Amino acid sequence: AQTVTQSQPEMSVQEAETVTLSCTYDTSESDYYLFWYKQPPSRQMILVIRQEAYKQQNATENRFSVNFQKAAKSFSLKISDSQLGDAAMYFCAYRSALGQGGSEKLVFGKGTKLTVNP
Partner 1 sequence: GAVVSQHPSRVICKSGTSVKIECRSLDFQATTMFWYRQFPKQSLMLMATSNEGSKATYEQGVEKDKFLINHASLTLSTLTVTSAHPEDSSFYICSARDMWENTEAFFGQGTRLTVV
Q: In the set 2, 8, 20, 50, which binds partner 1 (CB under 8 A)?
A: 50
In the chain, the N- to C-terminal Cα span, in Å, equals: 41
Whole-number Å distance between alpha carbons of 102 and 115: 35
Shortest reach from residue 47's CB to partner 1, in Å: 5
User: Is 64 one of the binding residues for partner 1 (CB under 8 A)?
Assistant: no
Q: In the set 22, 33, 63, 100, which binds partner 1 (CB under 8 A)?
A: 33
Restricting to residues 89-108, name those near partner 1 by CB under 8 A. Answer: 91, 95, 97-98, 103-106, 108
Are residues 66 and 78 in contact, defined by beta-carbon separation less than 8 angstroms? yes
Binding stretches for partner 1 (CB under 8 A): 33, 35, 37, 42-47, 50, 91, 95, 97-98, 103-106, 108-111
